[in-house]
Amino acid sequence: MGGSPTRRDFGREAEEAVARWVRARGLEVVARNWRRRFGELDLVLRDGATWVAAEVRARRTASAGTPAESVTAEKRRRLVRLARAFAAERGLLEAMWRFDVFCVTPDDAHGLAVEWIPGAFSADGLG
Q: Which amino acid is at 55?
A: E
- The domain segmentation of the chain, as residue ranges, is 7-121
Average confidence (pLDDT) over 110-119? 88
The answer to whether the CB of 13 falls within 8 A of the CB of 112 is yes
What pLDDT is recorded for position 62? Answer: 62
> Around 105, how many Cα atoms within 13 Å sit in the side-chain half-sphere?
13
Give the pLDDT confidence of 50-107 residue by residue, as tens digits.
999 999 988 776 656 666 777 788 888 999 999 999 999 999 989 999 999 999 988 8
Give the pLDDT confidence of 15-48 residue by residue, as tens digits.
999 999 999 999 999 999 999 999 999 999 999 9
Q: Which amino acid is at 103?
A: C
Give the alpha-carbon dihedral of 29, 119, 94, 22, to 10 degrees: 10
CATH architecture type of domain 7-121: 3-Layer(aba) Sandwich (3.40)
Q: Which amino acid is at 105?
A: T
Please count the residues of the chain: 127
Confidence of residue 1 (pLDDT cuts 50, 70, 90): very low
Average pLDDT, the chain: 87
> Around 39, how many Cα atoms within 13 Å sit in the side-chain half-sphere?
18
What pLDDT is recorded for position 36? Answer: 95
What pLDDT is recorded for position 124? Answer: 65
Residue among 97, 96, 113, 93 nearest 105 (CA): 113
